[in-house]
Chain A
């Protein structure tokens, strides 16, 4: 693990750097494939940056709202760049709302937009897995298997590596789909749903080897159960989109 990279007097968190790199490279993939979905790359990038920016602001507002005594600490405290001073739920809601509003204003088609973001999202997930490895987060269960790694005082499943292999495989599959199937506009939504189903299916499988799962009644892992539910929803939506696409193709021909 390499949590910190020392660059002269500056200590840079390697995991954070990798996430930024993943975001930058992911946006590059979005830009490359945007025209396939009749989308303008600049508008897509603006939507992504707006979603992230508004999301961060919303997360900070949410944190301040749940800790109102912060208001007496002054503006410097409220604007402090502390990642733990972010409320995830308000961040996600406000970010998504900003993205939706921007998309509606520019008349983005929902499924085409999601498909165009998929290559970037898939690449970002691989970098996210790498950031977990560098930070030691998402660590594995203790094991004595020959490929175990020494982490936090014992031999463990290299769960971050499992995650990286799965995410990289999914990303390569997405890129292959884009190369092989040129006629994406006739089946909008299929790519993003297959990507989500693949990612969630991988999470269902790999959560078994995680050492930081939340256990609920009957030794069930909460994150695994949630992933299974979302996986089922994805498969159902995928079925609907595939049938819609088939009907649409038949009507056109």
Chain B
């Protein structure tokens, strides 16, 4: 190679070395954001059964956070898969939170939906839509996979998700 190219290449290599030597490496993000690699926005919601669910209490568990509404056909199609995943991975500390965005739904329809599908998942109710806003939910369903440290590892917008896709994502987090 001619001298100019050697000089350019050497400068580039020096830049890489300098970056490694004195640059600040990106650390694990402790900032809260609805984005992969960031701490999941905290929330506390009442569930359909009247209990309180606080995301902070679930640290140490792998959490699947699924935002849904009763009028959304893909939500209905994947809810059974979510239930199956909860049954299958409960012993391994996986918790599925199927958050109903009640601000865009009707509570009676939600109850009918759960009864019709015979779902026993925890159903937190986002009455004012503030949690859906915090998670920047723009389409239903939206699913967030949160690891045991409370960090969002994967976001899947839309559906329906098959049990296979959910299981393969979960297995990476559990491992």
Interface segment, one of A44-52, A97-105, A160-168, A231-239: A231-239
Q: Does B174 belong to the interface (CB within 8 Å)?
A: no
Interface segment, one of A17-25, A65-73, A126-134: A65-73
Cα separation A3 to B136 with both chains bound (whole Å): 9
- Given that A70-B162, A82-B156, A218-B20 are known contacts, is A231 also in contact with B31, CB under 8 Å in the complex? no
- Given that A208-B23, A235-B8 are known contacts, is A84 also in contact with B156, CB under 8 Å in the complex? yes
- Given that A84-B156, A154-B31, A219-B20 are known contacts, is A141 also in contact with B26, CB under 8 Å in the complex? yes
Q: Does B119 belong to the interface (CB within 8 Å)?
A: no
Q: Does A85 belong to the interface (CB within 8 Å)?
A: yes
- Given that A11-B139, A212-B37 are known contacts, is A70 also in contact with B15, CB under 8 Å in the complex? no
Q: Does B24 belong to the interface (CB within 8 Å)?
A: yes
* Cβ contact of B24, chosen from A73, A141, A207, A238, cutoff 8 A: A141
Residues of B within 8 A of A69 (CB): 164, 167
Contact (Cβ within 8 A) B29 A152: yes
Q: Does A224 belong to the interface (CB within 8 Å)?
A: yes
Cα separation A96 to B41 with both chains bound (whole Å): 41
Cα separation A247 to B30 with both chains bound (whole Å): 58
A13 CB, min distance to chain B CBs, angstroms: 8
Q: Does A172 belong to the interface (CB within 8 Å)?
A: no
Scoring B residues 51 to 91 as 1 if CB is less than 8 Å from chain A, else 0, what string do you get?
Answer: 00000000000000000000000000000000000000000
Residues of B within 8 A of A6 (CB): 138
A243 CB, min distance to chain B CBs, angstroms: 9
Contact (Cβ within 8 A) B165 A235: no
Cα separation A87 to B35 with both chains bound (whole Å): 21
Q: Does A205 belong to the interface (CB within 8 Å)?
A: yes
A52 CB, min distance to chain B CBs, angstroms: 21
Residues of A within 8 A of B105 (CB): none
* Cβ contact of B16, chosen from A13, A73, A225, A235, cutoff 8 A: A225
Contact (Cβ within 8 A) A82 B158: yes
Cα separation A215 to B38 with both chains bound (whole Å): 17
Cα separation A13 to B71 with both chains bound (whole Å): 21
Residues of A within 8 A of B38 (CB): 152-153
A82 CB, min distance to chain B CBs, angstroms: 7
Residues of A within 8 A of B127 (CB): none
Q: Does B50 belong to the interface (CB within 8 Å)?
A: no
Contact (Cβ within 8 A) B16 A228: yes
Residues of A within 8 A of B156 (CB): 82, 84
Q: Does A213 belong to the interface (CB within 8 Å)?
A: yes
Cα separation A224 to B158 with both chains bound (whole Å): 33
Q: Does A4 belong to the interface (CB within 8 Å)?
A: yes
Q: Does B115 belong to the interface (CB within 8 Å)?
A: no
- Given that A67-B164, A73-B164, A84-B165 are known contacts, is A220 also in contact with B37, CB under 8 Å in the complex? no
Q: Does B32 belong to the interface (CB within 8 Å)?
A: yes
Contact (Cβ within 8 A) A232 B26: no
Residues of A within 8 A of B162 (CB): 70, 73, 77, 80
Residues of A within 8 A of B138 (CB): 3-4, 6, 11
Contact (Cβ within 8 A) A224 B19: yes
* Chain A residues within CB distance 8 Å of chain B: 3-4, 6, 11, 13, 67, 69-70, 73, 77, 80, 82, 84-85, 136, 141, 152-154, 201, 204-205, 207-208, 210-213, 215, 218-221, 224-225, 228, 231-232, 235-236, 238-239
* Chain B residues within CB distance 8 Å of chain A: 1-2, 5, 8-9, 12-13, 15-16, 19-21, 23-26, 29, 31-33, 35, 37-38, 136, 138-139, 154, 156-158, 160-165, 167-168
Taking A213-B25, A235-B5 as given, write out 17 further A-B residue pairs in contact, using a Cβ cutoff of 8 Å, ordered by the A residue number: A3-B136, A80-B162, A82-B156, A82-B158, A82-B165, A84-B156, A152-B29, A152-B33, A201-B8, A208-B15, A215-B25, A218-B20, A224-B19, A231-B9, A232-B9, A235-B8, A239-B5
In the assembled complex, 10 residue pairs joining A and B whose CB atoms fall closer than 8 Å, in A order, are A4-B138, A152-B33, A207-B19, A211-B26, A212-B26, A213-B25, A213-B26, A220-B20, A224-B16, A239-B1
